[in-house]
Amino acid sequence: MEGQELGDKIVGVLKTIYDPEIPVDIYELGLIYDVFVNEDQDVKVLMTLTTPNCPVADSLPQEVKDKVQSLDEVNEAEVELTFDPPWTRDLMSEEAKLELGFL
């Protein structure tokens, strides 16, 4: 499978995960900073949360890991949380801003 295809599949899975406080998926919210896939089909997701003391700080990264790892093509998934740079509304997609009334 091409890396791009797998990347698209991973993004598709990420778009099924929602921040419980905001009715927009974590991808459109801009919480996913990067997705790395190596030649062994190991996936690393670099993500953030809206705030460091987010109520889902423990469960959301685990959900991301579980859902990405559930893809047949993925060998192993790892999620790294970062707050550098900190999340801001500027990271949201136009779609998310529209959904939340920021446009």
66 belongs to a structural domain: yes
What pLDDT, on a 0 to 100 scale, did the predictor assign at position 36?
Answer: 95
Task: Report yes or no: 47 and 61 within 8 Å, Cβ to Cβ.
Answer: yes
pLDDT in tens, the chain (103 residues): 567 889 999 999 999 999 888 889 999 999 999 999 999 999 999 999 998 888 888 899 999 999 999 999 999 999 999 999 999 999 999 999 999 998 8
Q: Which two tokens stand for residue 42?
A: 């190991």
Tokens 């949360």, residue located: 49
99 belongs to a structural domain: no
Taking only the tens place, the pLDDT of each residue in 58-76 is 899 999 999 999 999 999 9
44 belongs to a structural domain: yes
103 belongs to a structural domain: no
Whole-structure pTM over 0.85, yes or no? yes
85 belongs to a structural domain: yes
What pLDDT, on a 0 to 100 scale, did the predictor assign at position 2?
Answer: 65
Continuous H helices in the chain: 3-14, 59-69, 94-99
98 belongs to a structural domain: no
State the residue range of the domain holding 69.
Answer: 3-92
Tokens 């089909």, residue located: 41
Nearest to 54 by CA among 84, 21, 89, 24: 21
65 belongs to a structural domain: yes
Total domains in the chain come to 1
What pLDDT, on a 0 to 100 scale, did the predictor assign at position 103?
Answer: 82
Distance between CA atoms of residues 47 and 25, nearest Å = 13
What pLDDT, on a 0 to 100 scale, did the predictor assign at position 23?
Answer: 87
Number of CB atoms found within 10 A of residue 94's CB: 10
Q: Provide the CB-side half-sphere exposure for 66 (13 A, CA).
A: 8
Nearest to 78 by CA among 33, 19, 49, 37: 37
